[in-house]
Structure 1
Amino acid sequence: MTHEEKRAWIMLVVSVVAYAVYAAVVLSRAGGALTATPYAGTLLWTVGGAIVANIVAEIGIGVVNPRAPRTRDVRDREIGRLGDHVGQAFVVIGAVSAMLMALAEWHWFWIANVIYLCFVLSAVVGSLAKVIVYRRGVPQW
């Protein structure tokens, strides 16, 4: 397993766990309407925690196997580009959705959550695409 594939796995796992923690905390606090639930602090902490967890996990991989090559070859760059393109679609979907929700004057709770969900989907789907391509090979179109 290459270093870049390990990074994709880390991003995939950390993104899913962070969003699951966020959803669990927000839903456990919901007493009535979700829009009245405090979410901003939890959102910021889970995003920050995911960033820190990702960095710590990558450092951990470097410590466990310090002699593993970290160079990226052409295949790694192609896979990285493909995964980024696949994941980028969800960033655009999130931005357009948030814009439409703001124009419709939806509550900011829903706008913030759709943006966060689309960022998570971007990371998950992009990382999943990278892992699949690492396992099955670069598709020939």
Structure 2
Amino acid sequence: MAYQEKSAWIMGIVAIVGYFGYLLLLLPQTAHVAFLEVEYVPAMLWSIGGAIFVSILLHVAVSIGTGKNRNQSDSRDKEIGRFGEYTGQAFVVIGAVGALVLALAKIDHFWIANLIYLAFVLSALLSSIAKIVGYRRGFQTW
């Protein structure tokens, strides 16, 4: 398995686990206060920071395990990487437009922040899936 494919697996799994970690930190608070009054900022910052930290640790571990071959990439790796990133960027755009609409409608910051976070998670997940499919099933260049 190529280093780039391992990296895609790491990013996809860390995105999912990090977001569910955020929800696990957030949802117990709803038993005591109204949903819009929960302290979401610390939970969001901890889950994002934790996901970044875990991702770095896993990438270092995979780099050590891969050895010299981690820097070897061919044109196929580059095309798959580009395709995955372009595919994932769709959710960043959707999230940005959605956040803009919510801000213009003067919706609570809770919803805007959560929409942006969800858009980034979905972007990372879709990008990872596109890369993994490209490696597993082949990639058709146009």
Identify the residue that residue 25 of structure 2 maps to in structure 1. Answer: 25
Q: How does 1:81-92 map to 2 (within 5 A)?
A: 81-92=82-93
TM-score, normalization by structure 1: 0.95
List gaps (5 residues or longer) in structure 2: none
List gaps (5 residues or longer) in structure 1: none
Identify the residue that residue 9 of structure 1 maps to in structure 2. Answer: 9
Identify the residue that residue 60 of structure 2 maps to in structure 1. Answer: 59
> Can you list the C-alpha shifts for 1:13-50, whole angstroms capped at 9, x where unaligned?
00000000001110111134211010101111111111
Identify the residue that residue 126 of structure 1 maps to in structure 2. Answer: 127
Q: 1:96 to 1:64 in 2, by over 3 A?
A: same
Q: How does 1:31-70 map to 2 (within 5 A)?
A: 31=31, 32-70=33-71
Q: How does 1:70-85 map to 2 (within 5 A)?
A: 70-85=71-86
Identify the residue that residue 111 of structure 1 maps to in structure 2. Answer: 112
- Equivalent AA in structure 2 for residue 107 of structure 1: D
The structural deviation recorded for 1:70 is 2.2
> Can you list the C-alpha shifts for 1:117-140, whole angstroms capped at 9, x where unaligned?
000000000101100110000125
Does the residue aligned with 1:16 lie in a helix, a strand or coil? Answer: helix
Q: CA RMSD in A?
A: 1.2
> Comparing both structures, which one devotes a greater share of its residues to helix?
2
Q: How many residues align?
A: 141
TM-score, normalization by structure 2: 0.94
Identity of aligned residues (%): 45
- Equivalent AA in structure 2 for residue 12 of structure 1: G
